[in-house]
C-alpha cells in the first residue's frame, strides 16, 4: 500500500505542471503568464566563522529557585539577530565599508549549587567591519541583515554571578538586501494532491502471530 501511494505521489508531480517540485520534461510546458512578485533580493553577502574569542554576556531571567554559585554548562543562540549602528563608507565602485553591531539573543544553561538545572538569557554583541557591494541609492532602500548561530561549550560564570565569559563557535551570514518587485514566468496557481492520511498499523505484527507455538520438526 505504501509503495502504491508513493508511486501515485510521484506520478502526480511528474504529470502536473502546477505542483511544486522537480521539473520533468520540457520546462516551458505549462507556462502561462508573467507575474510580478514581491521578494527580498540579496545583492551581496558573506559568511564568517568565529572561534577562540571570549565574549562577556550579561544575564537575566534566571530560573527561579536556583541557588548560587552557578556552574556553566553550555549556551546557544535563541533568536533572530539584530543589526544596529550601521555606518556605510563608500569605496571604489559599488564596494563599501560597513561597520555595525550584530546583537544575538543567547540562552545560557547551568547547574546551581544544589545540582538543579537552570537557564538564563542574554545578548551576544559582535562588532563587524567588513567590505561588501551595495546598490545605488533608490526610493526603496537596501538594508543589512545577519543570521547568527552560536554554540558555546566553553565558558564560566564571573564573580558577580550574573554574567558569563564564553568562548563560543559562531557562524554568521551577513547580507545586503532590499524588498523589490520582480517579474517571473509562472505556471499559474499551485494545485495540491488529495491528502494522504497516515494509518499506523500498530497491531500488524501481533495479529500475524500464530495462536500456539509451532511444533518441532
Over residues 90-103, the pLDDT tens digits come to 999 999 999 999 99
Over residues 161-205, the pLDDT tens digits come to 999 999 999 999 999 999 999 999 998 888 877 787 776 666 766
Place of cell 505484527: 205
Over residues 17-32, the pLDDT tens digits come to 777 778 888 888 888 8
pLDDT at 2 over 50: no
% of the chain at pLDDT higher than 90? 71
**Pick from 38, 37, 40, 36: which is nearest to 178 by CA?**
40
Q: What residue spans define the domains of the chain?
A: 31-188
Q: List the beta strands (DSSP E) in the chain.
A: 33-50, 55-60, 71-77, 82-90, 95-111, 117-133, 143-152, 155-157, 163-166, 169-186
Question: Is the distance from CB of 63 to CB of 119 less than 8 angstroms?
Answer: yes
Amino acid at each position: 500500500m505504501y509503495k502504491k501511494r508513493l508511486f501515485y505521489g510521484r506520478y502526480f508531480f511528474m504529470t502536473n505542471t502546477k505542483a511544486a517540485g522537480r521539473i520533468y520534461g520540457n520546462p516551458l510546458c505549462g507556462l502561462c503568464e508573467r507575474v510580478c512578485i514581491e521578494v527580498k533580493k540579496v545583492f551581496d553577502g558573506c559568511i564568517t566563522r568565529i572561534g577562540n574569542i571570549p565574549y562577556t554576556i550579561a544575564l537575566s531571567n534566571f530560573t527561579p529557585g536556583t541557588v548560587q554559585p552557578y556552574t556553566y554548562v553550555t549556551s546557544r543562540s535563541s533568536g533572530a539577530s539584530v543589526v544596529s549602528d550601521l555606518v556605510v563608507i563608500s569605496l571604489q565602485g559599488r564596494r563599501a565599508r560597513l561597520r555595525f553591531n550584530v546583537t544575538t539573543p543567547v540562552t545560557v544553561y547551568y547547574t546551581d549549587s544544589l545540582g538543579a538545572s537552570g537557564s538564563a538569557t542574554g545578548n551576544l554583541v559582535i562588532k563587524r567591519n567588513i567590505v561588501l557591494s551595495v546598490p545605488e541609492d533608490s526610493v526603496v532602500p537596501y538594508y543589512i541583515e545577519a543570521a547568527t548561530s552560536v554554540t558555546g561549550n566553553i565558558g564560566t560564570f564571573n564573580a558577580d554571578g550574573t554574567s558569563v565569559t564564553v568562548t563560543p563557535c559562531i557562524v554568521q551570514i551577513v547580507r545586503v538586501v532590499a524588498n523589490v518587485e520582480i517579474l517571473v514566468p509562472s505556471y499559474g496557481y499551485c494545485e495540491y494532491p488529495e491528502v494522504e492520511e497516515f494509518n499506523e498499523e500498530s497491531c500488524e505484527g501481533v495479529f500475524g502471530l500464530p495462536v500456539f507455538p509451532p511444533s518441532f520438526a
